[in-house]
Amino acid sequence: MTLSLMFEIAMLVSSVCGVLVASWLLWRARKQSDLQALAGFAIMMAIWCFGHVVLFQGWERVGIYIILANPLMPTFFLHFAILFVNSGTAKEVMLDRLYQLLPWFYLTSFAVVLQSWWMGAGDAISTLYTGAFFVFTDAGLWNLVYTVLMGVLAHGVLMFGWYRHSGNKKRSILAMCGVGAWGLLLATSFVFPSFGISWFPYPMLLLPTYLLLLVYAVVRYQILSVNAFANRALLWFAMMMVILCVIAVISVVSGRVGLQALSNVPSWQLWLYSLLILVVAALVYQPLSRLVSRLIYPGALLNEAVLDTWSTKLKEAQDWAQLIEVGEALLSAQIRRPVAIQLQMPSFEVTPHNNALAIRLLRSKAGWHFSLIGWEDASPGMRLTAEVFASLFSTSCGLLERSLALAVAERKRLDEQHLVELGSLSAAMAHELRNPLNIIAMAAYDAPAETRQHIQTQLKRADRLVSDMLVYSGGLSLQIAVTPLRSLVESILTQSPVGNVLCEVDIDEQLELEADPQRLQQVFINLIDNALSFLRNTEKGKLRITAQEYADQVVIHVHNNGPKIDESLQGEVLFQPFVTKRAGGSGLGLAIVRRIVDAHGGHIQHQTDAVWPVTFELVLPRHHAPAHLGRPSYGTE
């Protein structure tokens, strides 16, 4: 293979690469004007390289005209550089003005090309290595100088962008400048014959790499799929280089070891055959890989589409129950067998299913871990599918956990903001309401006894409502002290109008809590008063208060045999403010209880069972720790 043929092939490959790169950029660019300008640069470079091919084929005049159009290449690159550097929120005034001058740059470039054609700025000469090679005449120096200046201006814009930007854009600009230096090194040999230097332009044989590297430097941080392609391309290029070195060694050594027939084969033929084998291997690699995977893991039809579907569906889950439901449906549909997902964490636990196949996920300090249960007799393909899915599901658990934590934090912030606003409003209302209430009380002093008693009752109710609003909406500060629980409860019962209600207290005398005694007293006052209001009208009414100690927690139950709470009020609704069916109630009692228990780092909930129609369960830490506690792991009494 002659040097002339090698040069012609390199120019043809560069031209084809330019067309392919420009087409790809236009397809991916859509409305990205900077990539459209880069596509224009790639097309002009493809045309310029094709001009050399035409020149070598004997069409000298056409080839010269095409090559003399080279000022358009740096003009397109300048267009791209301005748009790339000036993209984003911060616009540069200088680049805006330069962008407004772009039509004049294009017009000047066209004028230089037309002048070069008219004045005969190029010619073709024969060299020692090529039959025809382009050279600039004396009239073409202006064409060459203008092209170089435009290239310098474009790279000057890039350097300005490197100074002004940061992050990925700065890295891209730095890579482009490095590729520009590589392009300058390759293109320098093109002008040697124009200055009388009789030297073959070996660097131009590598010209196809310039355009590919330039585009890769631009889109590496914008289009991530390009990096995967570049990874494969670099791998195959490295393999080609290794084969080339091996063939070179074989050519030298084969004759000395008795393989005369092999040593007589030209090295370029050996390299071409090896390259052909490498290309065939690249083409059949993916099909053979899928075939082998199906043989080893039958039934495991995993691909990017399946994984993307799994990831998308799992990300749509809003809570743990929905995540488990979606996960079980996806995996069961994939392997065509029912699968259960068991999630174990402090605040959520799913009851194990009776399914033969299950995936158990456990939350630990190090993160989420999974284990396969009952998969010993499953096929390798099914087990591989389960492992891949479990790994993806573990990631989804972490994402959902962080999402719920952010939602809780945001809800807490809004609640605190609401309480601050409500506190200000309540304080103003208390001041404005108590003044007329005092006037009414004094005005009723001379009223008949029955009327005065009725007015006093309603005034107490109004005053209680105002007090409850102040307590609920005000700031809640705790004065922690060691508090004996039994004596606290008994003192409240002694002062309460129990009437004919039977009250029992089953609390150890030695049981003590680190809590605010005043706030804790308010909790029991509200719960006892709420229970007595229903038990006074109940035959054989009974109130029972018990407490048990579990590790560092104290579990308190306040039972009563009054009427069951309406189903519409059960759950979280029961503890919302202004929710009540008690005659004369403010609807703030249980809401206040909830606030005080939460402030102590505890938990309260309503329960029903066969013995006690109404039960309130309080979980409080023995030692003050204002962190929310989950449900304790014990059985109910």
The CATH number for 25's domain is: 1.20.1070
Closest CA to 173 of 157, 152, 158, 153: 158
Name the domain boundary from 386, 405, 424. 405
| Structural domains counted in the chain | 4
User: Does residue 544 belong to any structural domain of this protein?
Assistant: yes
Residues 204 and 262 in one domain: no
Lowest-confidence range among 86-90, 321-325, 625-629?
625-629
pLDDT at residue 114, as a whole number:
92
What confidence tier does 111 reach under pLDDT thresholds 50, 70, 90?
very high
Residues 88 and 108 in one domain: yes
Residues 49 and 195 in one domain: yes
Please, which residues bridge with residue 122 across strands? 136
What confidence tier does 592 reach under pLDDT thresholds 50, 70, 90?
confident
Given a cut of 50, whether residue 384 has pLDDT beyond it is: yes
Name the domain boundary from 193, 223, 253. 223
pLDDT at residue 636, as a whole number:
35
User: Does residue 432 belong to any structural domain of this protein?
Assistant: no
Q: What residue numbers bound the domain in which 212 lies?
A: 3-223
CA distance 452 to 455: 5
Tokens describing residue 297: 């893991």
Residues 71 and 179 in one domain: yes
User: Does residue 273 belong to any structural domain of this protein?
Assistant: yes
Given a cut of 70, whether residue 29 has pLDDT beyond it is: no
Residues 321 and 179 in one domain: no
Residues 217 and 261 in one domain: no
User: Does residue 447 belong to any structural domain of this protein?
Assistant: no
pTM above threshold 0.95: no
Given a cut of 60, whether residue 595 has pLDDT beyond it is: yes
pLDDT at residue 631, as a whole number:
41
- Using alpha carbons, list the distances in angstroms from residue 3 to 8, 43, 58, 134, 204: 9, 26, 17, 16, 12
Strand order in the sheet with 357-364: 348-349, 339-345, 357-364, 367-373
What confidence tier does 204 reach under pLDDT thresholds 50, 70, 90?
confident
User: Does residue 257 belong to any structural domain of this protein?
Assistant: yes
Residues 36 and 163 in one domain: yes
Tokens describing residue 389: 């899915």
CA distance from start to end of the chain: 95
Mean pLDDT (the chain) is: 77
Give whichever of 301-305, 407-411, 480-484 has the largest mean pLDDT.
480-484
Given a cut of 50, whether residue 361 has pLDDT beyond it is: yes
Name the domain boundary from 168, 192, 223. 223
Lowest-confidence range among 264-268, 305-309, 323-327?
264-268
Neighbours of 295 (CB within 10 A): 9
Confirm if 601 and 545 have CB atoms less than 8 A apart.
no
Given a cut of 80, whether residue 139 has pLDDT beyond it is: yes
Given a cut of 90, whether residue 104 has pLDDT beyond it is: yes
User: Does residue 350 belong to any structural domain of this protein?
Assistant: yes
Query: Residue 551 belongs to a domain with what CATH number?
Result: 3.30.565.10
Given a cut of 60, whether residue 350 has pLDDT beyond it is: no
Residues 82 and 185 in one domain: yes
User: Does residue 420 belong to any structural domain of this protein?
Assistant: no
Interstrand relation of 348-349 and 339-345 (parallel, antiparallel or unpaired): antiparallel
Residues 249 and 310 in one domain: no
Residues 115 and 162 in one domain: yes
Residues 138 and 184 in one domain: yes
User: Does residue 430 belong to any structural domain of this protein?
Assistant: no
Residues 335 and 289 in one domain: no
